[in-house]
Amino acid sequence: MGRSRWAAAAGLAVAVFAQQPAPPVRTFTPGPAVRQPIPYSHEKHLAMGLKCAQCHKNADPGETMGLPATALCMGCHQTIAKEKEPIQALAKYHAGKRAVPWERVYQIPSYVFFSHRSHLNAGATCEGCHGKVAERAVLFREKDISMGACMECHRREKAPNDCQFCHENR
Ligand code: HEC
Ligand code: HEC
Ligand code: HEC
Ligand code: HEC
Ligand code: HEC
């Protein structure tokens, strides 16, 4: 092959490469342990054989997983460890018909569309977006749910990535 042809091919390759969008620079640092009003441990409770879905019900229309009502906890803690201080605090919320003011760990702004059900139906897993919850005594943001992370998976899975897919005017 003549030198000029090689140069032309290389030039073409460079031009094509240059047309690709630059890979997004995305760094993610896990967040700190989130302090909760009651020191609930996923690790301890899941070791008893409880299932995610017993506490996180994907109620219709399926966007949220929700958090359990105090009544669910009191099903056991009416009797179990009821002399312990955190359980007395829990019982107080329950008696006052107040939800425990849990600090949120994963939250996205309300201007972003997101549905748990669509993603679960598409084969995504709890662990993929939230990490090894069942092994955690205290949760922290250990997985990236930023716009860059959403778009990276959409690119990989060939799901749409135009702005309006996740934002207003869809
Ligand atoms: C594709 C990523 C993804 C998957 C898969 C996923 N989640 Fe989430 N999860 C999120 C995002 C994003 C939020 C924040 C939603 C918001 O603020 O509206 C969230 C929020 C939550 C919340 C807080 C309450 C709520 O619904 O906003 C709980 C609890 C939760 N997820 C549990 C689970 C469980 C249990 C599974 C598996 C059955 C799961 N998630 C699978 C991304 C995911
Ligand atoms: C299936 C029964 C069951 C359910 C449901 C349950 N727990 Fe527990 N929980 C236990 C058991 C058993 C222990 C261990 C008790 C011990 O170590 O003495 C425990 C321990 C705890 C502790 C530690 C108590 C201490 O100081 O030693 C807290 C806090 C707690 N649970 C909160 C909750 C909350 C909040 C909920 C609801 C989201 C909940 N539990 C639901 C059975 C349950
Ligand atoms: C006994 C009830 C119970 C079970 C079972 C349970 N959770 Fe939770 N989950 C809670 C409570 C209470 C909170 C709020 C306190 C906290 O963040 O630790 C919570 C919080 C979460 C959050 C953070 C939500 C947010 O954005 O603030 C995620 C994610 C989550 N759970 C996932 C799971 C997964 C995955 C499983 C199964 C492997 C599971 N949970 C099983 C009770 C439960
Ligand atoms: C694990 C890969 C993955 C991650 C992470 C992910 N998505 Fe998706 N998403 C998909 C796939 C695949 C679909 C297509 C599902 C279908 O065909 O219905 C989808 C569909 C959607 C839809 C349309 C579903 C509907 O019901 O309208 C929205 C909106 C969306 N994603 C937003 C988000 C946002 C926001 C995030 C980040 C917080 C995110 N996605 C993270 C894979 C992912
Ligand atoms: C796959 C879902 C998805 C797509 C596609 C998407 N976004 Fe986002 N966007 C998000 C999420 C999630 C957030 C919230 C990120 C956070 O708070 O960490 C966000 C936040 C934003 C913000 C606020 C950022 C900030 O720092 O305050 C702007 C502006 C934005 N998006 C614009 C766009 C534009 C423009 C496009 C099209 C090029 C786009 N988005 C496409 C999911 C998406």
* pTM for the structure as a whole: 0.92
Band the pLDDT of 13: cuts 50, 70, 90.
Answer: very low
How confident is residue 27, by pLDDT bands cut at 50, 70 and 90?
confident
The pLDDT of residue 1: 35
- Could you give the 3-state DSSP secondary structure of residue 120? helix
The CA 164 to ligand 1 mean position distance, Å, reads: 21
Task: Give the integer Cα–Cα distance in Å for 45 and 161.
Answer: 38
Element (DSSP H or E) covering residue 54: helix 52-55
Please tell me the predicted confidence (pLDDT) of residue 33: 97
The position carrying tokens 């301890």 is 44
Ligand 1: atom nearest CA of 124 is 5
The DSSP 8-state label assigned to residue 81 in this structure reads T
Which stretches of 60-102 are DSSP H helices?
Answer: 70-77, 85-95
Query: Residue 170 — very low, low, confident or very high, per pLDDT cuts 50/70/90?
Result: low
pLDDT > 60? residue 18:
no
Measured in Å, residue 151 CA sits from the centre of ligand 4 at 9
Who lines ligand 3 at CB under 6 A? 36, 40, 42, 45-46, 50, 52, 54-56, 67-68, 102, 104-107, 126, 130, 133-134, 139
Task: Identify whether the C-beta of residue 18 lies closer than 8 Å to the C-beta of residue 11.
Answer: no
